[in-house]
Structure 1
Amino acid sequence: MMRFASLGSGSKGNATLITAADTAVLVDCGFSVKETLLRMARLDFAPERLTAILVTHEHGDHAKGVMALSRRLKVPVYMSAGTAIALDCIADVQVRVIDLHQSFALGDVHVHPVAVPHDAREACQFVLSFGEQRLGILTDLGHVTPHVVSAYQAVDALILEANHDPEMLAVGPYPPSLKRRVGGPLGHLSNGQSAELLSQIDLQRLQRVVISHISEQNNDLSLAESVLAAAIPGHEAKLQINLQDTGFDWCQIQPL
């Protein structure tokens, strides 16, 4: 059985837990160690169970607590060479550099890195599998590439960014330079871009879509949900919101 939960998602911190058999993986850690452990306790997850940490990129809302948590729990950290350089990894952290074109195993979980266009040194996202069960995590990219569409085509569950509404971003409080970054090809997916991706995925296999990394300033929860729901008519019940403060509780992927 593969299951997954979120410690929280948004500009103030991101972290996702995945467990399968005897393996437990944390994707990103954008919270302090203290906050991470508190949020793990809320999910009734014992931190000593953690097998490894995967890092998507070096931005603080994804990597703030990675090194300290790795040292605290004595678990290895997996990331791209570019991310390792950007984070200036030091010797007392067990860093494992990964090839974004090569899948690898972490205990019972198979990890498929997916290179994505984002304004980071060598950003990636991940598809994780346990037997035939597949979970896709896809946030922090400015546009959807053919490679991304192909990589996420056969997932059973998808944690998907719907960061902003373009009109809200345009009239919102961000300075012009930040608006260009967020809405640009190396920024974050809009509601419409995420909906377009969903329209290209096999909905019969897809059991759950968790709308994530929603901007507090440039989006609205109900708006994001309605835009994505329109892209999957008849499958709206599969949608769920991932919140910054509470994340979401454990979800189980049902066997095919």
Structure 2
Amino acid sequence: MRVGLSFEVHVLASGSDGNCTAVCSDDVTILIDAGLSGRQLTTLIKSAGMDPKQITAILLTHEHIDHVRGAGVLSRKYEIPICCNAATLAACEIGEITHKTIFKTLEEFELGHLKIMPLPITHHAADPNAFFISSEKNKFLLATDLGKVNNDVFEALGKADFAVIEANHDLRMLENGPYPIMLKRLIKSERGHLSNIDCAHALWASGYGDKKVFLAHLSKNNNIPDLAIRTVSSLLGCRDDKVDCLRSAGDIRTITL
């Protein structure tokens, strides 16, 4: 048994301007989404101490540009396989891809020693996924761009040692903000995004406990990092230092499990 494996999560970008999270364990490095330019992503990857040439695969949650902008560039330049379901690949505008792996939602597959379970989520996309990634010692969940926490994500959240989960907006800021009414309705719908309160309720109800959690995909127009952290930590009844998020463009975070 390879019980001594390290497990690191690098949150490189998160929000409407672009999303990218790296999971590194032993000799496996996985990018989840690649929503910035190829040049920006390469800089962030190197700044986190990783080598783009050593990336095992790029997992795509869904086809929106803030999640796939640089995926095709990185795949072609470094010969990195793109991993996604068929509907997402068909909807992506990332150019010709030579290296690809097509998975099916709710069918587990492996990348090296890591087990990947793509979970269905509700969002205004073709066939979006959250990802539950596990090794012999660690269990990690990334769940963003979802309008509600369904049973599959809820169960995974309860099992996870660490989660990156969406806390997109503060309801009052969204309702009083400049967005058109139809967009506000979409964001608040089951095909939209989780609010700070929705996120906190899901964490509390799943029994996530006092483990550290990382809040992701915060809206720059309808949320504030300190507000998101304060809302989630107060509803969970935990210290603020148990909850974290990126605070500005270029900010990155490394979490070692």
The SS at the match of 1:199 is helix
Q: Which secondary structure does the structure 1 equivalent of 2:182 belong to? A: helix
Choose the corresponding residue for 1:30, options 25, 35, 45.
35
After superposition, the C-alpha distances for 1:129-182 in whole angstroms (9 at most, x for unaligned) are 111301110110011112221122110111011000111111111122221221
1:17 maps to what in 2? Answer: 22
Equivalent position SS for 1:240: strand
Q: Give the C-alpha shift of residue 93 in structure 1.
A: 2.8
Give me the whole-angstrom Cα distance separating, in 2, the residues matched to 1:116 and 1:217.
24
Structure 2 counterpart SS, 1:5: strand
Q: Quick one: distance in 2 between partners of 1:129 and 1:92? A: 27
Cα distance in 2 for residues equivalent to 1:247 and 1:159: 16
Q: Secondary structure of the residue that 1:196 maps to in structure 2? A: helix
The separation in 2 between residues aligned to 1:88 and 1:128, in whole angstroms, is 26
Counterparts of 1:86 and 1:240, CA distance in 2: 32
1:6 pairs, out of 8, 11, 14, with 11
**Higher mean displacement: 92-101 or 4-13:** 92-101
- In structure 2, C-alpha distance between the alignment counterparts of 1:219 and 1:45, rounded to whole Å: 30
Moved more, 29-38 or 238-247: 238-247
**Shift in CA distance, 123/244, structure 1 to aligned 2, threshold 3 Å:** farther
Any stretches of 5+ residues in structure 2 without a counterpart? 1-5
Query: How much does 1:30 deviate?
Result: 0.3
CA distance in 2, matches of 1:185, 1:92: 32
Q: Quick check: 1:10–1:244 contact (8 Å CA) kept in 2?
A: no
Runs of 5+ consecutive residues of structure 1 not aligned to the other structure:
none
**What do residues 78-131 of structure 1 show as CA deviations (whole Å, max 9, x unaligned)?**
101110111167654312111111111001211111100000000001011111
| Aligned with residue 85 of structure 1, among 85, 90, 95 | 90
SS at match of 1:153: helix
Corresponding residue of 2:102: 97
Relative to structure 1, is the Cα distance of residues 146 and 211 closer, same or farther in structure 2, using a 3 angstrom cutoff? Answer: same
From 71, 74, 89, the counterpart of 1:69: 74
Q: Give 1:241's match in structure 2, choosing from 241, 245, 249.
A: 245
Q: 1:89 to 1:29 in 2, by over 3 A?
A: closer
- 1:223 and 2:227 aligned: yes
Q: Distance in 2 between matches of 1:246 and 1:239?
A: 19
Q: What's the counterpart of residue 125 of structure 1?
A: 130
Q: 1:19/1:187 Cα in 2 relative to 1: closer, same or farther (>3 Å)?
A: same
The higher-RCO structure (CA 8 Å, 6+ apart) is 1
Counterpart residue number, 2:54: 49
Equivalent residues, number:
252
Moved more, 109-118 or 221-230: 221-230
Q: Please report the RMSD computed on the Cα atoms of aligned residues, expressed in angstroms.
A: 1.6
SS in 2 for 1:44: coil
4+ residue segments displaced more than 6 Å: none
1:109 alignment counterpart: 114
Q: Is the contact made by 2:157 and 2:208 (CA closer than 8 Å) also made in structure 1?
A: no
Q: Please report the TM-score for the alignment, with normalisation by the length of structure 1.
A: 0.93
Partner of 2:194: 189
Contact 2:225 2:247 in 1 (8 A): no
Q: Which residue of 1 aligns with 2:255?
A: 251
Matched, 1:154 2:168: no
Q: Which residue of the partner structure matches residue 175 of structure 1? A: 180
* Alignment partners' CA distance in 1, 2:251 and 2:132: 19
Against the structure 1 CA distance between its residues 114 and 92, is the aligned structure 2 distance closer, same or farther, given a 3 Å change threshold?
closer
The one-letter amino acid of 1:157's match is F
Q: Which residue of the partner structure matches residue 211 of structure 1? A: 215
How much has 1:6 moved relative to structure 2? 1.2
